[in-house]
Structure 1
Amino acid sequence: MLHRLLFQRIDNSSLIIFRIFFGILVSLECFGAIATGWVHRNLIAPKYKFPFIDFDFLQPLPGYGMYFYFGIMGLMGLFIAVGYRYRASIITFTILWTATYLMQKTAYNNHYYLLILISGIMCFFPAERGSSLDVKRNPKLESNSMYAYIKWIVVLQLLIVYVYASIAKMYGDWLDFSTIEVLMRSRKNYWLVGEILQEKWIHKIIGSVGILFDLLIVPALLWKPTRKVAFFLSVFFHLFNSIIFQIGIFPYLSIAFSVFFFEPETIRKLFFKTKVPFMASGIVIPKNKNMVLITGAMYFTIQLLLPIRHYAFTDDVLWNEEGHRMSWRMMLRSRQGKGTFKVVDNDTKEEFIIQPKNYVSRGQERKIFAYPDFAWQFAQYLEQEFAEQHREVSVYLENSKISINRKPYKPFIDPKTNLAAEEWYHTKHHNWILPSNNHTSEN
């Protein structure tokens, strides 16, 4: 049964057209990041970029080098789309995109992480075997079939993303639709729909559909009787998200994934009318079968465990953010923070009140007060800044308070903790994050 599911040869039209869509979309993402100012705003203008902890060695290119960097990624996207030196192009893009992801997290987005996973997976797929310049250069590469496990890898990855996203929404602030209200408040001035988005009944629809869509869309696309309806609902859902939330290529990438759910004959007739259909069927066990099974099992075990790692930490992930990233917890909350950074010279006991705006961008400043890893990194940054003046200092965040989903502010970071002297742990709770059940609050 497992062999038939994974190692049957099937038509590869879905993989070929997905490669084309994928290449075009990532190219638009990269060139768009330059055109919209995203690259300048996050990778050029800030003095300190707040990279993922332990990845400080990954630094943006100096000057305007990151424009060149993103230009190369955009070019790789075009090469992927036309199938020009596909293997080298997809590997190059994956490495460059992963490095970009790790260089900064102020503009963190779960979709950027998904792009790492998909491009990484595509490195191992024979997506250049049709409608590509590689085939024109070497006709022996051409093939009209692929192993069925290629389809199921994509389907399972999407199932994990959507189901975890649905489960994450099943918490109080989403279920009473207050999170939706907060999200929609910033869309009040949208042309034509801004006022409608403030209606309570709209919040209920968006909140309910958000849970049900994420939970059911993959099964509905897999089941033939509901496939077409699910596809059109998916198109509407993702276009709505694109217009309202402006989240880059992800909605269109999600629509592109639909090609793996339709019959190969349907995809071939739509996109490759002159392509020779794959008629043969049967199981062909590859020589590397064991490696495929072991690698796949290891990969998906990680994908299943990583999003629930926050249960290993003390307190709620909604509060402490420990284990939030790479867990498909998308658009779940709004965080605001405030406080005062105090630096104390360990020798002279001289005190300095730090204004973060003098060191970081406005977007980074908001993160510093609301997210514990940002606060810790800023403390490390301040320690280094003073070390350059030959001062050994301690760094404290006093009067630290955060508000989640516009609720009353509550104390967040222990004011007696010297953050500059603390270690950061990826798999251990940080005791200087005060507990969420602290009853002291203010409006």
Structure 2
Amino acid sequence: MTIKARLTALRNTWLQPIPIGALVFARIAFGLIMLWEVERYFTYERVARYYIDPIFHFHYTGFHWLQPLPGDGMVAVFLLLGMLSLAIALGAFYRLSIAAFWVLFTYVFLLDAAQYLNHFYLVSLLSFLMIWVPANRAFSVDVWLGIAEKKMLVPAWTLYILRLQMGMVYFFGGIAKMNPDWLSGEPLRTWLGARTDFPLIGHLFTEDWAPYVFSYGGLLLDLLIAPLLLWRRTRLSALLLVIGFHVTNSQLFNIGIFPWMSIALTLLFLPPEWFSIRKVHHEQTLIVFNIGRQQKLLFVILGGFSLMQVLLPLRHFFMPGYASWTEEGHNLAWHMRLRDKEGDIRFFASDPMSGETREISASDYLTDRQFEQMIGRPEMVLRFAHYLAATDYQGMQIRVWDMVSLNARAPQLLIDPTVDLATTPDDLGIADWILPLVQPLAVENAEGVPAILFNRHSDDILLFINITEQPFLLDHLLLDDGNRSHPPISFDTATLHPENCMVLHTAQADWENFSPICNEAGRYLMPDGLADYALWLNDEKLEECDGATCIIVAPDKDN
């Protein structure tokens, strides 16, 4: 068969008539699920907590001009979204309702990156596609009012584009799972271990094999579920499997409407005849819809849309670093449940003239949810730093200490703390201020790396702590050389040294005449045999430095 013949056959396949029942089901399911989601936002007071109460919102690149409506404007937006959802389900003024829903929902989606959810991205994409689908031509208010002509057959492409969208969610979700962490059972090992109370099977979650069964099972399901549903011999077993998968996820994890939206969209892979209430006569199926000029333009638009859906999930392969760590290429790519990040972050403002440094209380500006979401996402840290530099800390240098653990690894710094984020551009370029992931997965830190090393030659104590591994301000340090304990030392001054190191000093030591030992990256490694003292912080002995290198030296040029 020639290429032209193949293209003609493909064209005829996409234009052949199918029963409209699947589109009607998609319309009703989408509308009712979104109505439920709007109700949840009001029930849990998320409209106020996410969009009204915060004084700062994390914009997306290029969308800083989008802001929440003042006063009760956001309440009105969600009320309108609820009414539009109901109208979509009923097929009332469908074209206007679905188009208005897409505009409003996408507006809400773009307001704050702290509220990013993969299924919200899916809702935005799906509502855009449904604008072009004649899902109101049967069982709708529009037909009852005479606004739309009743039709029981529609071109097959109207269903196929919805299948294609959900198929890409599954497929690229599977591609994203092909990473070392997921194949090693993380983060599912951590999450399953916390859910041993799960009915019937929870006691198995701590077995060594459990995270691998869930990890590899999820990967294979994502990659294979679409073809298994389309193949008649495996259709029913695949359907039961995917429904069980999503129902289990809904009970194991707090993922909102995503399992139910996924089940509804997955059902669209079933034969369209299964959704048909009325029998379609054979002669009707011989009709082939024609392509007019408007439809050709529509196919160009949908083709570009589909190409974007292929390229966006693959872009992280062309970016340096691990996407779950750097977050570059993570969003809009169906990276679902791939990372578990925990950590702590502190912001510091420094006067470039005097060198005076003080800590900024991020909680004065952010909600708890915003703060937690920001800790492991460098682009959000940068945007908050820009906000600080543009408001209360104009003319100041903004640096951060952001210690993060990824998928049960030992913590390490995520962002270079020597970089002034106030002057760092927020663009689509590669962020070289994000530190590479160096901590191994599920491996303890190397032995023999002490928390802090002390100088052998002087009674005057000058404490140098590498700022790439430790917070800027420490207090209540107790030194112990094995024979006697030294009084606690309080450090009330923190100074950024020109060589990108930091010195904490007391009255016994003066850093002015001292140049700290640093390598090019502000790190230095010394064997623990050089340490004369153990270090205690708040009555807890610091055996290790979590992968850090910390040095104590004296203000001695010969040292």
Please point out which of 274, 286, 300 is paired with 1:266.
274
Provide the secondary structure at the position in 2 that maps to 1:433. Answer: coil
CA distance in 1, matches of 2:68, 2:316: 30
Moved more, 86-95 or 2-11: 2-11
Letter in 2 for 1:6: W
Equivalent AA in structure 2 for residue 332 of structure 1: L
Aligned equivalents of 2:21 and 2:207: distance in 1? 44
Structure 2 counterpart of 1:24:
32
Q: Please give the secondary structure, in 1, of the residue aligned with 2:18.
A: strand
> What is the match of residue 442 of structure 1?
546
Specify the code of the residue in structure 1 equivalent to 2:331.
R
Query: What is the count of residue pairs matched by the alignment?
Result: 433
Aligned partner of residue 262 in structure 2, secondary structure: helix
Separation in 1, partners of 2:371, 2:258: 27
Closer, same or farther: CA 257–292 of 1 in aligned 2, 3 Å = same
The one-character-per-residue Cα deviations of 1:245-283 (angstroms, maximum 9, x if unpaired) are 131222112211244222333212xxx3xx463641232
Query: Which residue of 398, 412, 430 corresponds with 1:410?
Result: 412
**Residue identity opposite 2:183 in structure 1:** L
Match of 1:244 in 2: 252
Q: Is the 8 A contact 2:138 2:152 kept in 1?
A: yes
Structure 1: which amino acid aligns with 2:412? K
**Paired residues of 1:187 and 1:194 also in contact (CA < 8 A):** yes
1:423 aligns with 425
Q: 1:43 aligns with which of 48, 51, 62?
A: 51
What is the distance in 2 between the residues matched to 1:115 and 1:4?
Answer: 29
**Does residue 284 of structure 1 match 2:289?**
yes
Equivalent pair of 1:336/1:370 in contact (CA under 8 Å): yes
Q: Check whether the contact 1:144–1:278 (CA below 8 A) recurs between aligned residues.
A: no
In 2, the alpha carbon distance for the partners of 1:431 and 1:265 equals: 54
Q: After TM superposition, list the pairs within 5 Å mapping 1:35-434 onto structure 2.
A: 35-138=43-146, 141-188=149-196, 194-268=202-276, 272=277, 275=278, 277=280, 279=282, 280=284, 281-288=286-293, 289-347=295-353, 349-386=355-392, 391-398=394-401, 400-426=402-428, 428-434=429-435
Shift of 1:366: 2.4
Structure 1 position 347, deviation (Å) = 5.0
In structure 2, relative to structure 1, the CA distance for the partners of 1:259 and 1:278 (3 Å cut) is: farther
Q: Secondary structure at the match of 1:103?
A: coil
Per-residue CA shift, 1:311-331, capped at 9, x if unaligned? 222222122111110000100
Alignment check: 8 A CA contact 2:342 2:376 kept: yes
Q: Is the 8 A contact 2:38 2:81 kept in 1?
A: yes
Which digits, 9 at most, give the CA deviation of each residue in 1:161-198, with x for residues without a partner?
11111121122221121311122244355567654444
Alpha-carbon separation, structure 2, partners of 1:111 and 1:170 = 21
Higher CA-based Rg: 2
RMSD, aligned CA:
2.1
Specify every segment of 5 or more residues in structure 1 that has no aligned partner in the other structure, as ranges: none
Identity over aligned pairs, percent = 32
Question: Which moves more between the two structures, 411-420 or 278-287?
Answer: 278-287
In proportion to residue count, which structure has more helix? 1
Q: 1:290 to 1:109 in 2, by over 3 A?
A: same
Q: Structure 1 residues 318-327 or 45-54, which shifts more?
A: 45-54
CA contact (8 A) 1:76 1:89 kept: yes
- Partner SS for 2:337: coil
What residue identity is the alignment partner of 1:402?
V
Q: How far 1:407 moved relative to its partner?
A: 0.4
How far apart, CA to CA, are the structure 2 residues paired with 1:246 and 1:392?
42
Distance 2:236 2:112 in 1: 40
Offset at residue 80 of structure 1 (A): 0.3
Greater RCO between the two (CA within 8 Å, min separation 6)?
Answer: 1
The amino acid across from 1:397 in the alignment is: V
In structure 2, how many angstroms separate the alpha carbons of the residues matched to 1:57 and 1:177? 41
Q: Normalising by the residue count of structure 2, what TM-score does the alignment of the two structures yield? A: 0.73
Q: Which runs of 5+ in 2 are unaligned?
A: 1-8, 441-468, 470-544, 548-559
C-alpha separation between the residues in 2 aligned to 1:186 and 1:365? 23
Structure 2 distance, partners of 1:78, 1:365, is 34
**Cα 1:260–1:345 shift into 2, 3 Å:** same
Q: Does structure 2 conserve the Cα–Cα contact (< 8 Å) formed by 1:259 and 1:267?
A: no
Residue 157 of structure 1 aligns to a residue in which SS? Answer: helix
Partner of 2:166: helix, strand, or coil? Answer: helix
Q: 1:42 to 1:192 in 2, by over 3 A?
A: farther
Question: For 1:357-406, what per-residue CA distance to the aligned partner results, in whole angstroms no more than 9, with x for missing partners?
Answer: 2221222222333211111011011112226xxx42111113x3221112
Alpha-carbon distance in 2 for matches of 1:229, 1:213: 12
- In structure 1, what residue type is equivalent to 2:414? F
Q: Secondary structure of the residue that 2:161 maps to in structure 1?
A: helix
CA distance in 2, matches of 1:45, 1:108: 18
3-state SS, counterpart of residue 391 of structure 2: helix
CA contact 2:114–2:374 (8 Å) conserved in 1: no
CA contact (8 A) 1:24 1:77 kept: yes
TM-score by structure 1 length? 0.92
**TM-fit CA distance, 1:15:** 0.4
User: Judging changes above 3 Å, is the alpha-carbon distance between structure 1 residues 356 and 59 closer, same or farther for their aligned structure 2 residues?
Assistant: same
